[in-house]
A = this chain, B = another copy of it.
Amino acid sequence: MTQVNDISFIRTLVAEEMKAVDALILEQLEQSNAPLIPQLSRHILKAGGKRLRPILTLLAAKLCNYNSGSRHIHMAASVEFIHTATLLHDDVVDESALRRGEPTANAVWSNSASVLVGDFLLAKAFQMMVGDGSLAALKLLSDTSATLSEGEVLQLTSARDLATNREIYFRIIHAKTASLFATAAEIGGIVAGATKNECNALKEYGTALGLAFQIVDDALDYSAQTAQLGKQAGDDFREGKITLPIILAYEKASDEEQKFWQHALEDTANANDENLQTALNLIAKHNTIEASLKEAENQAQKAIKALTPFPESELKTALVTLAKFTVQREF
């Protein structure tokens, strides 16, 4: 794959629309009667993030020649609201203190505030979709919301359980991450009145992109530095999340190494710095970061292949580039 170091040209392609998305998001938040809602939401939205999901919706709509209104803006904002709601709830579940280099909302306010504001954002996402009036989009969005939370629940119940194999891992990341990427892309096709075939292609692209994105995220948790990552490296280890670098290392583990993993992951108390270092050494020994990134690259290739039905264009190039960037990013 060719090297892709940044996606600024992609951002430029949808710069005007993203400005409209941001304005809509702020407008929706300001309408709230409870001042904490815009305060807390602004905190998490200001911290930035890559905004990949709304960008995906905008790119998909434009790829399918949508140019007659602002429905894609509403869809993109709605997708971002759902994503932000899951971030707020995730941070409560994970008891995270840092996200994107900033203290998490639950650390600044409280878990309660994060739970309730997350609920509000979820409701807002549906309100915006209802305003749009497309039952097809509403079906996608409600199905995805159910899948997202199922994925999170599966992740929760699989934590500290080394019976979590590749298959279960893929089921989890498919549900908790790829489903929203898929919907973000497909919904762009829907507003553009794309054919069933095109919508399916976008869904397939989004799914593979989301899988690649999550696999890289999970690899970075063991390979990146805290400053780069904007959250604490080794968090997954401490939380007992069984992600691909561990699954692959456990597959190749000697009896003694298996015992280490079982001990290190069975309790938070065992997730000390010394054990994290041993875990990193075993991950390095079995090259499971590289193997994980190879899996991510396969998914990125699958994403690119899914775009075959679309003729060459600047927008298609953007989506191809996005797939490459997702794998090659270092943060």
Contacts and interface: CB of A to CB of B under 8 A. Distances in A.
A149 B117 contact: yes
A154 B33 contact: yes
A153 B113 contact: yes
Contacts of A130: 135, 138-139, 142
A235 to B, nearest CB: 15
B142 A127 contact: yes
Given A36-B153, A112-B156, A130-B139, A119 B145 contact: yes
A35 interface: yes
Nearest to A128: B142
Contacts of A37: 150, 153
A145 B123 contact: yes
Contacts of A138: 126, 130, 138
A142 B115 CA distance: 17
Interface in A87-121: 89, 92-93, 111-113, 115-120
A95 to B, nearest CB: 9
A122 interface: yes
Nearest to A126: B142
Given A89-B116, A112-B156, A123 B149 contact: yes
Contacts of A123: 142, 145-146, 148-149
A34 interface: yes
A133 interface: yes
A40 B122 CA distance: 21
Contact of A116 (B32, B120, B127, B152): B152
B153 A116 contact: yes
A272 interface: no
A266 interface: no
Interface in A10-41: 32-37
Nearest to A141: B126
Contacts of A35: 157
A143 interface: yes
A90 to B, nearest CB: 9
Interface string A229-242: 00000000000000
A124 interface: yes
19 contacts: A32-B150, A35-B157, A36-B156, A37-B153, A93-B115, A93-B116, A111-B111, A112-B156, A116-B152, A118-B119, A119-B152, A122-B145, A123-B145, A124-B146, A127-B139, A127-B143, A130-B139, A133-B135, A135-B135
Give the 4 A-B CB pairs with smallest separation, nearest first: A123-B145, A123-B146, A126-B142, A119-B149
Interface of A: 32-37, 86, 89, 92-93, 111-113, 115-120, 122-124, 126-127, 129-130, 133, 135, 138-139, 141-143, 145-146, 148-150, 152-154, 156-157, 171, 175
